[in-house]
Structure 1
Amino acid sequence: MLSRVADSIYWMNRYVERAENVARFVDVNLNLLMDAPIGMQQQWDPLVVITGDQKIFKERYGEATADNVLRFLTFDRSYPNSVISCLRAARENARSVREIISSEMWEQVNAFYLMVKEAADNGSLSDLHSFFPEVKMASHLFAGVMDATMAHNEGWHFGQLGRLLERADKTARILDVKYFILLPEVSDVGSPLDDLQWIALLKSASAYEMYRKCQYRITPIGVTKFLILNREFPRSIQFCLLQAEESLHNIAGTVTGTWRTSSQRTLGRLRSELDYTTIDEVVQAGMHEFLDNLQSRLNDVGHKIFDDFFSLQTV
């Protein structure tokens, strides 16, 4: 019973967070194109790269045009990581544990899905400038309702764990894409276009205002340090790992009666290494290499969590 409930709450929150993150990426890109210099080539392929599903996209759509990417990431019901597919999966997971979660949580995730389904059924891409902010706000409402109406027991901690690991992964992905392929030419580094894209990256993580309150200038080093190593901003990788480790600690002690599970050791090792990592060391090692390794290790944490908790045989 515990294994089923934990799995459903964990994935319900991962899917809601994933839908929000997809909405963030696309919304920021739409706004970036409006602010970009006249004649600049539109870049939609990086949004597909962030998902890691370039092969699926190429097979189904071919060229990365605005319409193709928007439909793929938003309303493609056969693509499991589109906004509508994530919300459908989140609602199904919520349905399976309705006796555990609060009625307010179920009502919110159900309303969230129906809002996205109505937009998908209409099939129009013309109102997306208002649609994506609504997706982000609905995700925030779900997280707030969960915090306010669900007992903060192991079920709540599993939800937190799913949300935080998904968030850390997506922050790493958008940073990796920026460093690896986003700029069209090397000569654009340090240009106004470069600054515009770093600002867009911060906005995709709702980090622009908080970054400017901490630092005056937009610099590549400053932005990457803020999004990787800041211990106070809710969407930074280090903050996510700190909070995820705390939830995992509470889960392990309650569910297994031990404080030394394989997932704890894996997550704790990664979090502690970040504690003693400097941004200079990250740059020296290679930003792409560092972020690629980080994503692999986050995936390993997810596998260990499955082995420790979700694959348990009920007695």
Structure 2
Amino acid sequence: MLSRNAESLYWIGRYTERADDMSRILDVAVHQLLEDPTIDVAASVEHVTRVLGFVPADDDPRTVWSLTEQIAYDRTDPRSIVGLIGAARENARGAREVISSEMWESLNQTFNSLGDAERRARRLGPHEFFSFIKARTAMFAGLSDATLSHDDGYSYLLVGRSVERVDMIVRMLHSRSGAGVDSPSWMSVLIAAGAQDTYIRSQRGSLDAERVVEFMLLDRLFPRSVFHSLRSAERNLSELDRTPDRVGAQSRALTLLGRARSSLEFVDASSLTSDLASHLSLLQDTCRAVSESISAEHFHTSPYVSWTDASLALEAR
């Protein structure tokens, strides 16, 4: 596979997953801000904005509407939800020969419908826009699984999706890491991740910080847990690694993923909440390092050696 197509599929996976997860986080945050009169709106808006990697403008008021304008609708910022969908579409346009026509039509239609979705949201509320993005990204993920050959291209797509999912789940937990052990705000993490029903069934309805953190970080069966996502990224990337040697050496990205997965696999679950911030920061640093390593090892190939007459010139002397 051409490196440019592999890179496009990797970033399509990341961009669509990020748009989906940002919509989930904002949907829960906006609902809480509108429904709970006891919340400090300005502080909460600034906190959510920074958790998602944005810097609030100094002269803008901290309101629900400024939050959605900056992170959801801003067409000038490639990090916004609209910008992410546009970036995914452009990558799909450049990789038409390796994706299915249904995948392209799904992304293209989503992009072309953003204006209508935004207008409905301005009339009926932000939930309309976030629901639209969640539904369309879920459709795209389903079409990818059903219509794309499960070859190298599919593996790159899943690696991108899984790495991004780890980063976004970590951000969801970061947004509540300072809450009390019995705070009901932990349920918002589960709702944002679409995990509330699975969690309640598996934990018999018991809600506390330790169990929520353990479930979202360590659960082996829930597809949006950090451990499951790390294992998915590691498995798919290993299928793309063509250079293992007799002593088991592998790419740096695989080493980082394996180290992160092992650190969670054998961690003392009772210690997670007591030192949650450091665990989450380490996972974020790992995601950043893995992405940089994948780009260097798989996409940015070394140029061909060009022969020169330098050696002949030296011999002539």
Q: What is the TM-score with the length of structure 2 in the denominator?
A: 0.88
Question: Quick check: 108-117 or 301-310, which moved more?
Answer: 108-117
Instruction: Answer yes or no: is the 8 Å Cα contact 2:209–2:273 preserved in 1.
Output: no
Answering whether residue 203 of structure 2 is matched by residue 222 of structure 1, we say no
Once the two structures are TM-superposed, the CA of residue 225 in structure 1 deviates from its matched residue by: 0.3
Once the two structures are TM-superposed, the CA of residue 117 in structure 1 deviates from its matched residue by: 3.3
Answering whether residue 290 of structure 2 is matched by residue 279 of structure 1, we say no
CA distance in 2, matches of 1:240, 1:51: 19
Partner residue in 1 for 2:198 = 210
Once the two structures are TM-superposed, the CA of residue 166 in structure 1 deviates from its matched residue by: 0.5
Identity %: 31
CA distance in 2, matches of 1:125, 1:52: 28
CA distance in 2, matches of 1:84, 1:34: 23
Aligned partner (choices 70, 73, 76) of residue 71 of structure 2: 73
Once the two structures are TM-superposed, the CA of residue 46 in structure 1 deviates from its matched residue by: 2.4
Partner residue in 1 for 2:57 = 58
Once the two structures are TM-superposed, the CA of residue 29 in structure 1 deviates from its matched residue by: 1.6
Aligned partner (choices 223, 238, 244) of residue 249 of structure 1: 238
Partner residue in 2 for 1:296 = 285
Partner residue in 2 for 1:264 = 254
Q: Number of matched residues?
A: 298
CA distance in 2, matches of 1:281, 1:66: 35
Partner residue in 1 for 2:30 = 30
Partner residue in 2 for 1:201 = 189
CA distance in 2, matches of 1:222, 1:108: 37
Aligned residue type for 1:45? E
Instruction: Answer yes or no: is the 8 Å Cα contact 1:49–1:177 preserved in 2.
Output: no
Match of 1:81, SS? coil
Match of 1:44, SS? helix
Q: What is the TM-score with the length of structure 1 in the denominator?
A: 0.88
Aligned residue type for 2:251? T
Q: Are the structure 2 counterparts of residues 232 and 128 from structure 1 closer, same or farther at C-alpha, using a change threshold of 3 Å? A: same
Partner residue in 2 for 1:186 = none
CA deviation vs aligned residue, 1:290-314 (integer Å, no higher than 9, x gap):
1111101111111111111011147
CA deviation vs aligned residue, 1:171-194 (integer Å, no higher than 9, x gap):
1111112114xx5xxxxx366xx2
Q: How does 1:1-315 map to 2 (within 5 A)?
A: 2-36=2-36, 38-42=37-41, 43-54=44-55, 57-59=56-58, 62-120=60-118, 124=122, 126-180=124-178, 183=179, 189=180, 194-195=183-184, 197-215=185-203, 216-253=205-242, 260-284=250-274, 286-313=275-302
Aligned residue type for 1:281? S
Q: 5+ residue gaps in structure 1?
A: 184-188
Match of 2:113, SS? helix
Instruction: Answer yes or no: is the 8 Å Cα contact 1:18–1:81 preserved in 2.
Output: no
CA distance in 2, matches of 1:99, 1:16: 19
CA deviation vs aligned residue, 1:74-120 (integer Å, no higher than 9, x gap):
11112221110000000000000001100000000111111223334
Instruction: Answer yes or no: is the 8 Å Cα contact 1:245–1:264 preserved in 2.
Output: yes
CA distance in 1, matches of 2:232, 2:289: 18
CA deviation vs aligned residue, 1:135-175 (integer Å, no higher than 9, x gap):
10110100000110010001000000111111110111111
CA distance in 2, matches of 1:227, 1:122: 33
Match of 1:178, SS? coil
Once the two structures are TM-superposed, the CA of residue 35 in structure 1 deviates from its matched residue by: 4.5
CA distance in 2, matches of 1:125, 1:18: 25
CA distance in 1, matches of 2:161, 2:115: 22
Question: Quick check: 102-111 or 127-136, which moved more?
Answer: 127-136
Aligned residue type for 2:187? I
Once the two structures are TM-superposed, the CA of residue 269 in structure 1 deviates from its matched residue by: 1.4
CA distance in 1, matches of 2:103, 2:302: 28
Q: Are the structure 2 counterparts of residues 67 and 179 from structure 1 closer, same or farther at C-alpha, using a change threshold of 3 Å? A: same
CA distance in 2, matches of 1:309, 1:161: 12
Match of 1:99, SS? helix
CA distance in 2, matches of 1:106, 1:92: 10
Once the two structures are TM-superposed, the CA of residue 245 in structure 1 deviates from its matched residue by: 0.5
